[in-house]
Amino acid sequence: MTSAAPTRILLADDHALVRRGVRLILDNEPDLTVVAEAGDGAEALALARVHAIDLAVLDVAMPRLTGLQAARELSRRSPATRILLLSMYDNDQYFFEALRAGASGYVLKSVADRDLVEACRAVVREEPFIYPDALTALMREYLQRAARGERLPGSVLSAREEEVVKLIAEGRSSQEIAYLLVISVKTVERHRANVLAKLEMRDRTQLTRYAIRAGLIEP
């Protein structure tokens, strides 16, 4: 009887040491194999075009494109590819954002050695995975908010606005942002004004703090 082929994994994290550690965990399992590694979200998307992958394991906070942004694009482009997000952030905002981005699982880096393999297998079976210690609290809070009629967690910004905020927080000029996103400088300024109005903020410093809290850039 022929055994099933191992799950082909794309691994993306901007820290080489973290990637190495995660890869050791995954490649130690006979049913899992890392076929490609990326240092940021944009590179992950490029590699996903040329490698046949079953699962993408993406760090939440990476340069150029975050794991959340890459997950959104990857789930749109390849709905059959499963997505698992790795994060150092233990809070519900990132968990709900991960679900909205198309991810099926969320694993804390601090317990990756314990949970990562189980999470990979779960999402490949099309089952959601959330680190066990957080599941009860997250579900309780979600249900309480829903019962009170409160707005449930979710980003108030569009995907394009998040891209602009990320680049502003990285210190890019309007001209650079326009070039990178292939839009006009006028459009960049309009997005910036809309974001400031939505978030009730005034300047780049406040936007940078927001980008860190939202996982668009690392502190």
Least confident of 52-66, 108-122, 126-140: 126-140
Q: Which region holds residue 149: left if phi is over 0, alpha if psi is between -120 and 50, else beta?
A: left
Q: Is the pLDDT of residue 33 over 60?
A: yes
Give the CA-trace dihedral at 173, 183, 75, 101, to 10 degrees: 50
The tokens for 91 are 């809070």
Nearest to 120 by CA among 34, 3, 213: 34
Q: Return the pLDDT at 153.
A: 52
Give 10's strand partners: 36, 56
Report the alpha-carbon distance of residue 88 to residue 180 in Å, rounded: 28
* Mean pLDDT, residues 23-29: 94
Q: Return the pLDDT at 108.
A: 86
Instruction: Please name the helix (run of DSSP H) or strand (run of DSSP E) that holds residue 107, with its range, or none.
Output: strand 105-108
Contacts for 28 with CB less than 8 Å, ≥ 6 apart: none
